[in-house]
Amino acid sequence: MNGEQSMLPVQTGRDQGRGPVPAREPAALTFDDLLEAVHRTWRSLAMWGLAGLLVGAIVGMVRPRSYTARASFVVEQSSTRSLPSGLGALALQLGFDVGTEAGRSPQFYNGLIGTSGLLGSILDSTVSAGPGVRVSVRRVVGAGDDTTHARMDAALRRLRKRIASQVDARTGIVTVAVSARPAAAAEDIATLLIAAVRRFNVSTRQLQARELRQFLETRVGAASADLQASEEELRGFYERNRRFTESPALVFEESRLKRQVELRQDLYVSLAKQLESARIEEVNDTPTITVVDPPFASTRPDGPGLLALAVIGLVIGAAARAGLLVLAGR
C-alpha cells in the first residue's frame, strides 16, 4: 500500500492551486502572415516562375507544329420518299433520318471516312510538303515507304489519329478535319479523302445496280429469242394449215401457239421495262457528294501558342516552388 502511494505523482501546492493545464490551440492564419510569407519567399517564387516561363517558351519554339484543314460535304439524295415533302423536311430538321437506307445516310459516310479500305487507298498518294516538294501520305504520318503488313497497320493507325469527322444530324453536313504538317499537306489529305469517298460511290455503290442491269440484259436477250421462236412456230403453223378452222385439233393447236406467243411477249415487255429502269437507276440512284466547304487549313498551328505556353510555364514553376515550400513547412 505504501509502495503504491509512492508511485503516484507528487503535486506541489502551486499545481494543486492551478489544476490541469489546458492544451494550447494553434494560432489562426491571418492576412498579415500571408503577406509576410510572400515577402520572405517572393524571390524564390519569381526565380522558379521565370525558369518555368523560359522552359515554356523553349517548348513553344521547338515543338513540332501541325495544322488542321477542315472540309465539309453533303450527300444529295432522295431521303424522304416515303413521306410528303413537308413532313420529310420537318423530320430532317428534328434530326430524324426518315426514308434513307443505312448505307446512304450521312452517318454512313461519317463512319466510312475512318475505314481501313478508304484510308489505305490514299496512303501512296502524294501531297505537298513544301514549295516544289511532294511526298507520300505514308511519309507525312511518319510511317515510311515500307509496305509490310505491320508497317501498313502502323500507317493506318497514325493516319486515323490525324483525322476527325462529324455529322450534323439537322443538316446532314459531314465535316472532316485533318491535322498534318505543313498546312498544305493537311489540305491535300482532306482533298484526297473527299475524292476517295466519291470513288467509293462511283465504283462500289453502283456495283449492285450494274449487276442488276447486266442480269436484265441477259434475260431480255433470252426472252427476245424465245419470243421470236414462238412467233416463227406460229407463222409456220399458218403456212402449213391454211384451212385449220375446219379441224378442231388444229384450232386447239392454233390457240395454244397464240397463247404461248402472248405470254412470251408479255414477259419480254416486262423485262425490257425493268432493264430501262435499271439503266436509269444505275446513274440516278447513286448519292452525289457535293462539297460545301473546300479543304482549307488555318495559318495558326494547333495547340497553345508561344505566349500561352510561356504563361503556363510561369504558373507551373511558381506553383511548384510554392508546393515545395509548403511541404518543407516554411
Each residue of 43-97: pLDDT tens digit? 777 777 777 777 766 666 656 677 889 999 998 764 444 444 444 444 445 445 4
For the chain, helix (H) and strand (E) counts, in that order, are: 12, 6
Q: Is the entire prediction scored with pTM above 0.75?
A: no
pLDDT for 284 equals 67
C-alpha–C-alpha distance, residues 153 and 42, integer Å? 53
- pLDDT digits over 95-126, tens only? 454 444 555 788 888 898 989 989 988 988 89
**208: amino acid identity, one letter:** Q
- What one-letter code names the amino acid at 24? R
What are the φ/ψ torsions at residue 245 (nearest 5 degrees)? -65, -20
Please give the single-letter amino acid code of residue 68.
T
Instruction: Confirm if 174 and 165 have CB atoms less than 8 A apart.
Output: yes
Distance CA 325, CA 286 (A): 69
Cell numbers of 131, please? 514549295
Query: Does 179 score more than 80 pLDDT?
Result: yes
Task: Say yes or no to pLDDT of 5 above 70.
Answer: no
Cell numbers 466510312 correspond to 112
The SS3 of residue 94 is coil
Task: Please report which helix (H) or strand (E) contains residue 133, including its range.
Answer: strand 133-136
Q: What is the pLDDT of residues 132-146, one digit of tens each?
A: 888 888 888 887 777
Q: Count of CB atoms within 10 A of residue 312's CB? A: 17
Q: What is the pLDDT of residue 316?
A: 82
pLDDT of residue 321: 67
User: Please, which residues bridge with residue 74 across strands?
Assistant: 173, 290
3-state secondary structure 171-202: CCEEEEEEEECCHHHHHHHHHHHHHHHHHHHH
pLDDT of 260-308, one tens digit each?
999 999 999 999 999 898 888 777 656 678 888 899 988 777 666 667 7
Question: 131 CB contacts (<8 Å, ≥6 apart)?
Answer: none
